[in-house]
Amino acid sequence: MYGYTICEYEKVKAGFPEFLNTMKSLKTQLIAKASADWAPKTFGGMSPTAGQFGETTIMPELFFGQQAAQLTTWEQWFGSTGHQTILYGNATGATIPEDYKLGVAGIALLSKAIRITEIKMQIGDRKIPRINIEEAFAYNKPAVVFEQGLIVDEEEGFDLYAYVQTQGPQLIKLIGIQLNRVPNKLQATNTGTAL
């Protein structure tokens, strides 16, 4: 049910045309859900106007990292080893804040040194099984791309766990789309400012 492919992040589009179908399907499902939940607002794309909700890439400000601090970039510092929660929603109960919905299509590991050997996720009460990413060590900027996208609703729990082998910097990014019910809330912030 939760199939995936490990490949180089920069070659996802060229090497896996199926990814386009996954993204289109994920976007369609996410927009339909948001249109129903946020009615009478309608989808306004990347330039929404009054009465519309907008779209962006997934922003790190919606998450806390391994150091229990709100992220402003996807880069983190892993200060300990072993089984860790490395990314979780920044609202109460490790949930995604109200007014945001996510469509997660994969996870990119963009550091030269990959400090984790396996990952697993929990979205609400859905547990996504462990994924051993040791084969990803052979790739330059590997990505785990899901065969079927995952929707994370507003105020729904999100946890990304990993087995951390070494301490140090790590750049881990969620691949997908984010819908924003209140576009001005997103656009009013300055670069690097937490939402």
The answer to the question of residue 153 being in a domain is yes
Query: Tens of pLDDT along 138-194?
Result: 888 888 989 899 999 999 999 999 999 999 999 999 999 999 998 766 544 455 555
Whole-angstrom distance, CA of residue 7 vs CA of residue 23 = 16
The answer to the question of residue 193 being in a domain is no
The answer to the question of residue 46 being in a domain is yes
The answer to the question of residue 122 being in a domain is yes
Whole-angstrom distance, CA of residue 59 vs CA of residue 178 = 8
Task: Kindly state the tokens that stand for 40.
Answer: 């009478």
Amino acid code (one letter) for 159: D
Q: What per-residue confidence (pLDDT) applies to 119?
A: 94
Q: What per-residue confidence (pLDDT) applies to 191?
A: 53
The answer to the question of residue 195 being in a domain is no
Based on the structure, what is the number of domains in the chain?
1
Indicate the pLDDT class of residue 9, thresholds 50, 70 and 90.
confident
The answer to the question of residue 26 being in a domain is yes
Query: Tens of pLDDT along 89-146?
Result: 999 999 999 999 999 999 999 988 899 999 999 999 999 999 999 888 888 888 898 9
Q: What per-residue confidence (pLDDT) applies to 188?
A: 41
Whole-angstrom distance, CA of residue 123 vs CA of residue 163 = 18
Query: Tens of pLDDT along 65-80?
Result: 988 899 999 999 999 9
The answer to the question of residue 8 being in a domain is yes
Which one, of 58, 15, 81, lies nearest residue 149 by Cα? Answer: 58
Residue whose token pair is 């929603």: 89
The answer to the question of residue 194 being in a domain is no
Q: pTM for the full model? A: 0.89
Domain boundaries, position 82: 4-187
Q: What per-residue confidence (pLDDT) applies to 107?
A: 94
DSSP conformational letter for 74: S
Pairing of strands 168-180, 126-132: unpaired
62 pLDDT above the threshold of 70: yes
